[in-house]
C-alpha cells in the first residue's frame, strides 16, 4: 500500500508544504494518524483562504464593501489552518486508507463550515442552517438554494456561491493535487477515498499528472461555455458564474428565475449541451485530445447515457405538444433542458415542470435517480451501475434457459468481475434503501409524500430540483431547520457515494484491525 511521508515542521517553507509518498507496513494495524490528518487539513484550509482572496478581488473590482468579509474569512482559515499544522508537528510519515477517508470527509465538512462564513458574517444569509445548507449545496454541486432574492446578493457573494460549484466539481481533494504539489506522486489513498465511482480510467500512472489533465479538460469546458454565453447576451460576470455551474453540473444561478431570466433559446441550448458534456467521463475527453476519439463513441456508458437523455426528452416533448400545447421546437428545447439538468444532477431551470403532466414528473424522477456517468462531475446512481445491473438481470433470464452456460457481463468488450457486479448491486440496493430512509425522515418532519421523496432523491443525487413545493418555481427555504441540516448531510452522503461517509459511522472503523 502507498503511504504519505511528511517532512517535519522545521520552519522552512519547503518543509512546511512538503509531503512525499512512501511505502510502509508499520501502521497496518494501528489507529488513525491524527497528526498527519491535522497537518493535511491545515494545508487545505490555507488553500481555501487563497480562494477567498479571489472573491475579495471580484468584490473590489465591483466597488463593493463586503470584500472585508472575504479578508476576514481568509484570516480565519489561515489562523485555524496554522493551528492544525502545528498540531501535526512531528507526524509519522504514513497515511493509511482509513486516514484518507477521514481526510476527505473532514475536508468537505471544514470547507463548508468555513466557506459559509462570508454569507453568515455579512448577513447575506443570516441563519446558520441556511448558510451551511447553501454552502454545502455549492461544494457538493447540488444547486438547491434557500434564497428567495438572489439578486440582492453582491457580486462577491454571488461569485463565491458559484465558485463553490467549480471547486467541488471534480473534488476538493482532487483540486489540491493540482494546485500545490503537497501530496507528491502516487497519492492513491486520497484519490480513491474521494473518487469512489465504479470505474476511473487510469489515463496516466501518476495520479497528480492525471489530475492535471482532467483539470485541463475541466477548465477548457468552462472557458468555452463562458465565451458562448457572452455571445448569447450574458454579461461576463453572469457568464462566468453560469459556466462554473454548468461544467460542475451544479446549477447555482445569479438570477432568481435561473436561466429562464434571459429567455434565450441560444443560451438554453448552450447550457443544456454542456451540462450533458460535463456529465460524460472526463477521461474520454483526454483520449480525444490524444487522438483516440473512437473510444468516446464506442464507450457503452456514454451511449447508454445519451440514449437515456434522448428517450426521456422525446417522451416529454410529445407530452408537452399534446397535453400543454407547446410548439414542437419549444417543447423539444424545454424538455431537453429539464431532462439534461436533472439527468446530469444540475439545478438550472427554464420552465416550471410542475405545470406539466404528472407522467413527465415520473420521467424526471428517473433522471434524478440515474444521474450521469462515472468519472464526471454529476451525481446520482450513475449510468455505469445501472448498465451493469441491467446486463446482470438479462443474464439471469438467460441462465433460466441455459443453466450451465457461462455468461460474463461485459462493458466495453471487457468482462466485469463477479466481485464488481456484487459491489454494484449492493450499492444500488443500498442507495435505494437510503432514499427510502430519507423519505420516511422527511415525512416525519411534516413534508408531503411527493415532496419528501423528491427532496430525498434530489439531495442524495445532488440534483438541486425537486417536486411540489420544492420545484423550480420555489426555493428550499420552506424546509424546516432540521430538514435543512438533514438535507446537507444527504448532499455530502451522495457526493462521496454513501460508503465514504457511512464507513465512519461504523464502530470497526475506529478500532484496530
In tens, the pLDDT along 179-203 reads 444 444 334 544 454 444 454 455 5
Does the residue 355 lie in any domain?
A: no
Does the residue 386 lie in any domain?
A: no
Does the residue 150 lie in any domain?
A: yes
Our separate counts of H helices and E strands in the chain read 22, 4
Task: Identify the helix (H) or strand (E) that includes residue 19.
Answer: strand 19-23
Residues 465 and 347: beta-carbon distance below 8 Å: yes
**What is residue 101's predicted lDDT score, i.e. its pLDDT?**
78
Residue 22 φ then ψ, to 5°: -130, 160
Does the residue 243 lie in any domain?
A: no
Residue 8 has pLDDT above 90, yes or no: no
Does the residue 459 lie in any domain?
A: no
Q: Record the pTM.
A: 0.84
For residue 6, list its beta bridge partners. Answer: 19
Rounded CA separation 144/76 (Å): 27
Number of domains within the chain: 1
Residue 406 has pLDDT above 90, yes or no: no
- Model confidence at 3, pLDDT cuts 50, 70, 90, reads very low
- Model confidence at 4, pLDDT cuts 50, 70, 90, reads very low
Residue 265 has pLDDT above 90, yes or no: yes
DSSP symbols for 159-194: HHHHHHHHHHHS-HHHHHHHH-TTS-S--HHHHHHH
Residues 504 and 105: beta-carbon distance below 8 Å: yes
Rounded CA separation 163/139 (Å): 9
User: Is 211 or 448 the better-scoring residue by pLDDT?
Assistant: 448
Grid cell in block for residue 372? 450521469
Residue 133 has pLDDT above 90, yes or no: yes
Residue 24 has pLDDT above 80, yes or no: no
- Model confidence at 178, pLDDT cuts 50, 70, 90, reads low
How many residues does the structure list for the chain? Answer: 513
b/e per residue, 198-213, with b = 16+ CB within 10 A?
bbbbebeeebbebbeb
Half-sphere exposure of 19 toward its Cβ, with a 13 Å CA cutoff?
A: 31
Residue 5 has pLDDT above 60, yes or no: no
Q: Please tell me what DSSP assigns to residue 417.
A: P
**What is residue 237's predicted lDDT score, i.e. its pLDDT?**
95
pLDDT digits (tens, 9 = 90+) for 29-71: 457 778 888 888 888 899 899 999 999 999 999 999 989 999 9
**What is residue 512's predicted lDDT score, i.e. its pLDDT?**
60
> What residues make up the domain containing 75?
2-206
Burial class for 473, CB neighbours closer than 10 Å (0-12, 13-18, 19+)? middle
Rounded CA separation 147/120 (Å): 13
User: Is 395 or 332 the better-scoring residue by pLDDT?
Assistant: 332
User: Is 220 or 208 the better-scoring residue by pLDDT?
Assistant: 220
Look at residue 511 and give its three-state secondary structure. Answer: coil
Task: Identify the helix (H) or strand (E) that includes residue 441.
Answer: helix 418-444
For residue 22, list its beta bridge partners. Answer: 3
Does the residue 351 lie in any domain?
A: no
pLDDT digits (tens, 9 = 90+) for 477-495: 999 999 999 999 999 988 8
Residues 409 and 392: beta-carbon distance below 8 Å: yes
Place of cell 446482470: 392
Residue 25 has pLDDT above 50, yes or no: no
- Model confidence at 343, pLDDT cuts 50, 70, 90, reads very high
Average pLDDT over every residue of 108-136: 93
Does the residue 213 lie in any domain?
A: no
b/e per residue, 154-171, with b = 16+ CB within 10 A?
bbbbbbbbbbbbbbbbbb
Residue 108 has pLDDT above 70, yes or no: yes
**What is residue 131's predicted lDDT score, i.e. its pLDDT?**
95
Q: Please tell me what DSSP assigns to residue 199.
A: -
Look at residue 201 and give its three-state secondary structure. Answer: coil
- Model confidence at 309, pLDDT cuts 50, 70, 90, reads very high
Residue 414 φ then ψ, to 5°: -120, 135
Q: Please tell me what DSSP assigns to residue 23.
A: E
Grid cell in block for residue 303? 451511449
**What is residue 173's predicted lDDT score, i.e. its pLDDT?**
55
Residue 21 has pLDDT above 50, yes or no: no
In degrees to the nearest 10, what's the CA dihedral of 57, 59, 61, 62?
Answer: 170
Note the helical H segments in 445-505.
Answer: 449-460, 481-495, 499-502
Does the residue 305 lie in any domain?
A: no
**What is residue 174's predicted lDDT score, i.e. its pLDDT?**
60
**What is residue 61's predicted lDDT score, i.e. its pLDDT?**
93
- Range name among 82-91, 173-182, 274-283 with the lowest pLDDT average: 173-182
Amino acid at each position: 500500500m502507498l503511504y504519505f511521508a511528511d517532512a517535519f515542521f522545521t520552519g522552512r517553507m519547503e518543509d512546511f508544504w512538503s509531503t512525499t509518498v512512501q511505502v510502509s507496513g508499520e501502521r497496518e494495524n494501528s489507529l488513525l494518524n491524527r497528526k498527519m490528518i491535522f497537518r493535511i487539513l491545515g494545508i487545505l484550509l490555507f488553500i481555501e483562504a487563497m480562494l477567498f482572496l479571489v472573491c475579495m478581488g471580484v468584490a473590489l473590482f465591483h466597488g463593493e464593501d463586503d470584500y472585508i468579509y472575504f479578508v476576514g474569512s481568509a484570516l480565519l482559515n489561515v489562523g485555524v489552518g496554522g493551528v492544525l499544522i502545528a498540531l501535526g508537528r512531528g507526524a509519522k510519515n504514513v497515511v493509511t486508507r482509513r486516514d484518507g477517508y477521514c481526510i476527505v470527509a473532514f475536508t468537505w465538512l471544514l470547507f463548508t463550515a468555513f466557506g459559509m462564513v462570508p454569507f453568515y458574517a455579512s448577513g447575506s444569509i443570516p441563519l446558520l442552517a441556511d448558510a451551511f445548507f447553501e454552502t454545502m449545496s455549492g461544494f457538493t454541486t447540488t444547486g438547491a438554494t434557500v434564497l428567495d432574492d438572489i439578486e440582492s446578493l453582491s457580486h462577491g457573494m454571488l461569485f463565491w456561491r458559484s465558485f463553490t460549484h467549480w471547486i467541488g466539481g471534480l473534488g476538493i481533494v482532487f483540486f489540491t493535487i493540482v494546485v500545490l504539489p503537497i501530496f507528491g506522486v502516487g497519492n492513491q489513498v486520497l484519490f480513491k477515498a474521494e473518487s469512489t465511482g465504479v470505474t476511473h480510467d487510469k489515463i496516466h500512472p501518476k495520479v497528480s499528472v492525471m489530475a492535471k489533465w482532467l483539470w485541463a479538460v475541466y477548465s477548457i469546458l468552462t472557458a468555452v461555455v463562458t465565451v458562448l454565453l457572452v455571445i448569447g447576451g450574458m454579461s461576463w460576470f453572469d457568464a462566468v458564474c453560469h459556466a462554473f455551474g454548468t461544467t460542475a453540473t451544479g446549477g447555482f444561478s445569479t438570477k432568481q428565475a435561473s436561466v429562464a431570466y434571459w429567455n434565450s433559446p441560444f443560451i438554453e441550448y448552450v447550457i443544456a449541451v454542456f451540462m450533458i458534456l460535463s456529465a460524460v467521463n472526463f477521461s474520454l475527453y483526454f483520449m480525444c485530445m490524444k487522438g483516440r476519439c473512437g473510444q468516446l463513441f464506442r464507450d457503452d456508458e456514454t451511449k447508454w447515457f445519451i440514449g437515456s437523455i434522448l428517450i426521456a426528452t422525446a417522451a416529454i416533448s410529445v407530452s408537452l405538444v399534446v397535453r400543454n400545447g407547446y410548439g414542437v421546437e419549444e417543447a423539444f428545447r424545454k424538455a431537453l433542458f429539464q431532462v439534461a439538468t436533472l439527468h446530469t444532477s444540475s439545478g438550472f431551470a427554464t420552465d416550471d415542470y410542475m405545470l406539466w403532466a404528472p407522467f413527465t414528473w415520473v420521467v424526471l424522477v428517473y433522471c434524478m435517480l440515474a444521474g450521469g456517468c462515472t468519472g464526471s462531475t454529476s451525481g446520482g446512481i450513475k449510468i455505469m451501475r445501472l448498465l451493469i445491473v441491467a446486463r446482470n438481470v438479462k443474464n439471469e433470464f438467460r441462465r433460466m434457459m441455459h443453466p450451465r452456460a457461462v455468461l460474463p457481463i461485459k462493458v466495453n468488450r471487457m468482462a466485469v468481475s463477479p466481485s464488481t457486479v456484487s459491489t454494484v448491486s449492493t450499492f444500488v440496493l443500498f442507495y435505494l434503501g437510503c432514499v427510502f430512509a430519507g423519505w420516511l425522515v422527511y415525512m416525519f418532519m411534516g413534508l408531503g409524500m411527493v415532496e419528501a421523496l423528491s427532496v430525498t432523491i434530489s439531495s442524495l443525487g445532488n440534483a438541486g430540483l425537486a417536486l411540489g413545493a420544492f420545484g423550480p418555481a420555489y426555493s428550499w427555504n420552506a424546509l424546516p431547520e432540521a430538514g435543512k441540516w438533514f438535507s446537507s448531510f444527504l448532499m455530502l452522503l451522495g457526493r462521496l457515494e454513501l460508503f465514504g461517509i457511512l464507513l465512519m459511522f461504523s464502530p470497526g472503523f475506529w478500532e484496530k484491525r
